[in-house]
């Protein structure tokens, strides 16, 4: 239900905000979880939040399960023709103050809807990936002209947009995804869970939590495990997550004759309990912002070996909070994993320092406070302008 004009004015004066998060992906990975975390967090801080996601998408289902207000899109092959009017109606009916876009299609259509709306909402484009953005005219519009600001999940992504795409530094803000420290904290390993997975109590255990996409480098992890088996025959590996690369990865596991030691668990809700089982958490990505699996693992004091790409080196200082490796190199990856397995005290020390870093810089509260600050900084001047012309 829409607010009255008087109520709307009061809510703006007290900086209560109605926030629309948009996402066009059907899947569920770190990007979609970020949308969910921000939406839940802002609602807990007293703001009204709407999540717009495709009908049948995993984000829409999970957001509803968590009690968030969800509006589903059904664009089909006529995305532009249906989504711009859809977002325009939503902005008007829900009296949206902030439009925060996350995907590609929704960023175009929701941003245009926001720009032509009499509501004059602020528009934020969040860039989650470290993949370079094209310098074409259309992308200059998408990142430069349509949004009032761009947020990124790490400083490396921010610098790329500033140097490569020539965005003004004042309009690009790095806000890494926060970790729920009440959920992700050091805790005892669950022997019953380990047994249920078919992993022996004395077996060294490595693994990854990821959405199965090519850029996540899971084939490199599997190849590193093959090399490690020659040195550590009892080694076992957990790959936790689902996605489009599952079939390809299963084929590679069979080719390397690793079916007996690589356990693909699919999507799981019990991530903290699974992380406690791992002697080493591996992040062999080819491109990243700051992956949530990294900050979650460090929050639980797990030793980490990760690719030196994207925003990862912002968190992992080699030999201090984890070990860095070049991407696409299973030989070096296997050596670094073996080092931690053979030097558990070093791994434990890096995990402890890693948790301190997460507590200081990557907590959920830090993320929400920074995001809220960006919203409010842009929100007040726009409201003053719209009030002057009312």
Average pLDDT (262-273) is 96
For 136, what's the count of Cα atoms within 13 Å in the CB-facing half-sphere? 5
Average pLDDT (248-267) is 97
Average pLDDT (162-176) is 97
Q: Can you identify the CATH homologous superfamily of domain 5-178+364-388?
A: Glycogen Phosphorylase B; (3.40.50.2000)
pLDDT of 78 strictly over 70:
no
Residues 327, 309: Cα–Cα separation, whole Å: 7
% the chain with pLDDT above 90:
88
Same fold, 5-178+364-388 and 191-361: yes
Q: Is 142 exposed, middle or buried (0-12, 13-18, 19+ CB in 10 A)?
A: buried
Average pLDDT, the chain: 93
pLDDT of 130 strictly over 70:
yes
CATH of domain 191-361: 3.40.50.2000
Report pLDDT for 382: 58
Average pLDDT (243-265) is 97
Domain ranges of the chain: 5-178+364-388, 191-361
Tokens of residue 133, six digits: 């953005």
The H-assigned helical ranges of 202-329 are 218-229, 246-255, 271-277, 292-299, 312-315
Q: Is 193 exposed, middle or buried (0-12, 13-18, 19+ CB in 10 A)?
A: middle
Tokens of residue 83, six digits: 């989504």
Tokens of residue 116, six digits: 């032509």
Report pLDDT for 380: 77
Average pLDDT (54-79) is 89
The H-assigned helical ranges of 66-171 are 79-93, 105-116, 137-140, 155-163
| Helix-helix angle 246-255:218-229, to 10 degrees | 20
Report pLDDT for 389: 42
In the chain, which ranges are E strands? 18-22, 48-54, 69-73, 98-101, 122-127, 149-152, 172-174, 205-209, 236-240, 262-266, 280-283, 304-307, 323-325
Give the C-alpha distances (Å, rounded to integers) separating 83 from 28, 54, 76, 258: 21, 11, 10, 46
pLDDT digits (tens, 9 = 90+) for 296-333: 999 999 999 999 999 999 999 999 999 999 999 999 99
| Beta bridge partner(s), residue 186 | none
pLDDT of 11 strictly over 70:
no
For 327, what's the count of Cα atoms within 13 Å in the CB-facing half-sphere? 17
pLDDT digits (tens, 9 = 90+) for 281-303: 999 999 999 999 999 999 999 99
Residues 68, 84: Cα–Cα separation, whole Å: 22
Tokens of residue 358, six digits: 């997460």
């Amino acid at each position: 239900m829409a607010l009255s004009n008087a109520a709307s004015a009061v809510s703006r004066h007290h900086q209560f905000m109605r926030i629309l998060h948009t996402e066009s992906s059907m899947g569920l990975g770190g990007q979609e979880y970020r949308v969910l975390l921000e939406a839940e967090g802002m609602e807990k801080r007293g703001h009204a939040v709407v999540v717009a996601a495709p009908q049948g998408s995993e984000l829409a289902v999970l957001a509803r399960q968590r009690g968030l207000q969800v509006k589903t899109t059904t664009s089909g092959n006529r995305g532009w023709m249906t989504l711009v009017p859809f977002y325009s109606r939503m902005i008007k009916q829900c009296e949206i103050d902030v439009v925060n876009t996350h995907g590609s299609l929704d960023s175009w259509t929701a941003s245009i809807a926001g720009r032509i709306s009499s509501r004059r909402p602020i528009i934020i484009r969040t860039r989650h990936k470290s993949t370079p953005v094209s310098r074409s005219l259309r992308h200059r519009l998408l990142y430069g002209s349509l949004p009032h600001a761009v947020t990124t999940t790490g400083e490396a992504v921010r610098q790329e947009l500033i140097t490569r795409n020539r965005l003004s530094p004042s309009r690009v803000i790095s806000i890494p995804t926060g970790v729920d420290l009440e959920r992700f904290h050091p805790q005892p390993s669950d022997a019953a869970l380990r047994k249920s997975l078919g992993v022996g109590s004395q077996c060294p255990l490595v693994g990854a939590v990821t959405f199965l996409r090519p850029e996540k480098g899971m084939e490199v992890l599997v190849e590193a495990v093959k090399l490690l088996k020659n040195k550590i025959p009892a080694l076992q590996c957990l790959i936790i997550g689902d996605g489009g690369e599952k079939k390809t990865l299963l084929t590679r596991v069979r080719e390397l004759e690793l079916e007996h030691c690589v356990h693909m668990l699919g999507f799981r809700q019990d991530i903290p309990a699974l992380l406690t089982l791992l002697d080493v958490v591996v992040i062999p990505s080819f491109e990243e912002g700051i992956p949530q699996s990294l900050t979650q693992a460090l929050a639980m004091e797990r030793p980490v070996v990760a690719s030196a790409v994207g925003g990862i080196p912002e968190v992992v200082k080699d030999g201090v909070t984890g070990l860095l490796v070049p991407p696409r190199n299973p030989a070096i990856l296997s050596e670094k994993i073996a080092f931690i397995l053979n030097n558990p005290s070093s791994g434990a020390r890096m995990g402890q320092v890693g948790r301190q870093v997460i507590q200081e810089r990557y907590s959920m509260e830090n993320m929400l406070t920074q995001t809220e600050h960006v919203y409010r900084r842009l929100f007040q001047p726009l409201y003053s302008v719209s009030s002057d012309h009312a």
